[in-house]
Structures are given as structure tokens and as C-alpha cells.
Amino acid sequence: MKLIFQIYLKFLAKIILKKFRPKIIAICGSTNKSTAVAAMARVLSPQMEAAASPKNFNAEIGIPLSILRIVPEGASKIERWSSIALRALQQVFSLKTYPKIILLEFGMHAPMDAEKALSIATPDICIFTNLAPSILSHTDKSEQYNKTFSYFLRRLPKDTALITNADDPHLEELAQFFPDKVSRYGQNPPSDWKLSEITDTDSGQEFNIARNGEIFQVKIREFGLHHAYIAAAAFALSSELKLDLKKIQQEFCK
């Protein structure tokens, strides 16, 4: 039953993608995906509307539902399959316009998951948050992650733009599988989007994001280093989408 439901949703999602051809942005990694999707959708929105993943769904259901722009009732997840199935069908007929881009959380734990996610949507841009922390939390996952993500990277089309965390050693270990077009963010070389001067303040964090001598000062309300990394990744994404980076900076500082 679950399988039929998944195939059905995938089929409808593909119709939508074919019809509107949004740019697909996959957010991958072991943690911080939802936080990244939310932050990116927010800072991009004044310049470019983005469809974004509803929260905490696994990839097989989450990706199609995001594409179909369905947020299950009550903001989350205890809705009957039958009613979701009906709404999905209605969406195919009722959606008349569609955002130019879609941010999709690609949650993957095994090569099989990568295969399934890619069979629904092929990313134009792929952003990696990090791989390291979850490996620490469950030691035996390390090898599994390596297998999964090397498989995923190999399966990406060669012209996919990859945005990746230069400071994550586990990601850098996979560099041989990266597509041709890569931009890195982080505090260490070889970051193209270099984070520096990260400081905690009473009301959040301040830091600089620099690229080719151009420096953006960013202030955010969130605490935790990963938010600075997400901001840097958002700059890299915005540049890839040819957006006005000054406006992105302003959105972060709001």
C-alpha cells in the first residue's frame, strides 16, 4: 500500500516538474537540512519565490509532496493517505503558476534512498550542509554515509552545480566524486565563500562572508555556528541564481 502511494505521488510530482520546469535545488547532508531550507527560502523570497519542503518527511514522500506543494493539514503529519492522495491529484489540475525554484530536502541514509530521490527529481544545484556530526552520534554510520553520498554524487549529472562545506572533512573525502562545477564555503581554504570574524553577541551572531575581495557583513539572530555556515551557503546559492547579494545580506540582517 505504502509503495503504491509512493509511486502515485512520484508520478504526479513528475507531471508538475515537466509542466513548470522549476530549477531544482537539493539540500543534502546529515544535519541542518530543514534549517537550511527554511533560511534559504526566507532570504531568497523577496527576489525569487521558492517552493520548499514541508518539514520532517522522509524523501520518498517528502520530495513529491514538496513538489506538489502540499503541506499536510495542521502543519504536520497525521493525515490519512487517502485524503493526501486526493489533494495531490487536485493540485495537478489546479496549480496554474509555480515558483521558479524549488528547495528540496534530500534525506538519504542508503544508496537506495539516493536512487529513489534522484528518480523523482534531478537537481540543478546541490547543496551539502555537513556529514560529520551524525557520524559522531552513531559511529557505525560513517561507512554507510560514505557509500550513500559517493553513490549520489556519481549519479548527479555532470553539469550540476555543487555547493559544499569546505570545513567538513567527510565531505572533502568525497571530492573525487564532485561534479565539475563546485563552489565551497567555510572558514578554511579552499573556500570560495569565506567565513570569518564569527562572533557571538547578546542577540545572535555576527560574521563576514567574503568572495573575491568582496565582503558582506552579516548579523543573524540565531545562535550556533551552523547558522553562519548556512548563511554562507545561501550566498553561494544566490550567486549561482544570479541574485542581488546585497539584498540577501539585508534579508539575513532583518
Partner 1 sequence: MQPLRTQNIGLSLIKEMELRGSKIPGVVSLAQGIPSFETNEHIKKAVIESLSLHNIGKYSLSPGLLELREMVEEVLRKDGISYDHNNEIIVTAGSIEGLAATLLAILEKGDEVIIPNPSYAAYAEAVRVAHGVPIFIDLHKNDNWALSIDALEKAKSAKTKAVIICQPNNPTSHIYPESTIRELAEWAKNNNYFLIFDEVYKDFNYTAKPIFHLAKDSKYRGNAVYLRSFSKAFSMTGWRVGYILACKELAREILKVHDSLVTCAPVISQYAAMAALRYQDELINDIMIQYRKRRKITLAHFNKLGDYFECTAPDSGYFFFPKILFKNSGSKKTAIEILEKAKVNIVPGIAFGPAGEGYLRFCFGRSEEDLNEAFTRLKNYFHNSL
Smallest gap from residue 230 Cβ to partner 1 (A): 12
Subset of residues 184 to 213 that bind partner 1, contact rule: CB under 8 A = 202-204
Nearer to partner 1, 178 or 185 (CB): 185
What mask of x and - would describe binding to partner 1 in positions 28 to 67, judged by CB under 8 A?
--xxx-xx--x----------------xx-----------
CB 93 within 8 Å of CB 21: no
**What single DSSP character describes residue 179?**
-
SS (H, E, C) 217-245: EEEECCCCHHHHHHHHHHHHHHHHCCCCH
Comparing C-alpha atoms, which of 66, 56, 50 is closest to residue 35? 56
Subset of residues 125 to 164 that bind partner 1, contact rule: CB under 8 A = 133-134, 136-138, 140
Helix H or strand E encompassing 169: helix 169-172
Nearer to partner 1, 41 or 241 (CB): 41
Smallest gap from residue 242 Cβ to partner 1 (A): 29
Task: Quote the CA–CA distance of 116 and 98 in Å, as a whole number.
Answer: 24
Nearer to partner 1, 168 or 240 (CB): 168
Nearer to partner 1, 225 or 253 (CB): 225
Smallest gap from residue 19 Cβ to partner 1 (A): 31
What mask of x and - would describe binding to partner 1 in positions 217 to 246, judged by CB under 8 A?
----xxxxxx--------------------
Q: Are strands 214-220 and 204-211 parallel, antiparallel or unpaired?
A: antiparallel
Nearer to partner 1, 74 or 189 (CB): 74
Comparing C-alpha atoms, which of 246, 234, 200 is closest to residue 42? 234
Q: Which stretch in 68-76, 94-102, 165-173, 230-238 sits in contact with partner 1 by CB under 8 A?
A: 68-76
Q: Is 75 in the site for partner 1 (CB under 8 A)?
A: yes
9 contact partners, CB below 8 Å, separation of at least 6? 61, 64, 65, 68, 85, 88
First to last CA, the chain: 46
| Positions in the binding site for partner 1 (CB under 8 A) | 30-32, 34-35, 38, 55-56, 74-78, 133-134, 136-138, 140, 202-204, 221-226
